[in-house]
């Protein structure tokens, strides 16, 4: 019998590719998506659950799966404040993880960022590091942390800084070799591919995968 996957962040750049690949992968029989708004997508394997992320406790019976894929993420500019940013990038992923763990999920995978560390002086990286630690403390059988560098792809929402960086990335990438290889930009589709690859591994514990490793999957 195949596995059930639960995905949060399906409307985002990486999450969209994760959903597409999960639906095509025979390893997973069922894909549950938690979303604020409908994806307007029909598929025999897909179950869409429209949720209020501020009231996730009301959806406990829906947050059930063997494996959880978390692609939630925003920017401070898009969120409007550091507090709002932390709600999306820390509080929501942690609450999903807590409920999924209570419902016996065995594995959790999350996309954070290269340089994520709770001791970072950069707020963005610090929040990413804090959520990594908090979810790690829940002791899933397997917890995979994917830490990409600059993510390449066409987002539905505009991120001006990233747009400029993506334009310059071909030049930037030529300078990234040797120990700097991990800083090369990475396609969102490749992150999704790596995420699903790791989800099928039987290795247990907390595993961090930096961008350079993700490129090789």
φ/ψ of 158, rounded to 5, equals -80, 130
Is residue 204 flagged as an active site residue?
no
Query: What are the C-alpha distances in Å from 146 to residues 50, 109, 213?
Result: 26, 8, 9
Q: CB-side exposure of 12: number of CA atoms within 13 Å?
A: 26
Annotated catalytic residue within 92, 124, 183, 198: 124
Contacts of 182 (CB under 8 A, 6+ apart): 114, 149, 176, 210, 211, 212, 213
Active site residue 128: yes
Q: Which of 3, 86, 128, 184 is catalytic?
A: 128
Cα 40 from Cα 48, distance rounded (Å): 10
DSSP state of 121: S
Q: 61 Cβ partners below 8 Å, 6+ apart?
A: none
Q: How far are the Cα atoms of 8, 51, 134, 159, 170 from residue 123, in angstroms, in the given order?
A: 23, 28, 16, 18, 27
CB neighbour class for 65 (10 Å; exposed up to 12, middle 13-18, buried from 19): buried
Question: Which residues are known catalytic residues?
Answer: 124, 128
């Amino acid at each position: 019998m195949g596995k059930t996957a639960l995905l949060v962040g399906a409307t985002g750049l990486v999450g969209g590719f994760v959903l597409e690949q999960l639906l095509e992968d025979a390893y997973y029989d069922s894909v549950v998506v938690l979303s604020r708004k409908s994806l307007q997508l029909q598929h025999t394997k897909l179950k869409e659950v429209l949720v209020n992320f501020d009231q996730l406790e009301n959806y406990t019976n829906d947050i059930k799966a063997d494996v959880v894929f978390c692609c939630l993420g925003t920017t401070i500019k898009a969120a409007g404040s550091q507090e709002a940013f932390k709600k999306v990038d820390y509080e929501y992923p942690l609450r999903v993880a807590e409920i999924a763990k209570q419902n016996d999920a065995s594995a959790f995978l999350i996309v954070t960022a290269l340089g994520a560390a709770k001791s970072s002086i950069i707020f963005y990286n610090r929040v990413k590091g804090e959520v990594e630690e908090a979810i790690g403390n829940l002791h899933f059988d397997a917890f995979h942390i994917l830490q990409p560098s600059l993510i390449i792809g066409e987002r539905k929402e505009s991120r001006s800084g990233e747009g400029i960086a993506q334009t310059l990335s071909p030049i930037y990438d030529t300078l990234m070799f040797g120990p700097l290889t991990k800083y090369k930009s990475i396609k969102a589709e490749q992150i999704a591919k790596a995420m699903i690859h790791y989800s099928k591994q039987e290795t247990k514990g907390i595993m961090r995968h930096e961008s350079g490793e993700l490129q090789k999957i």
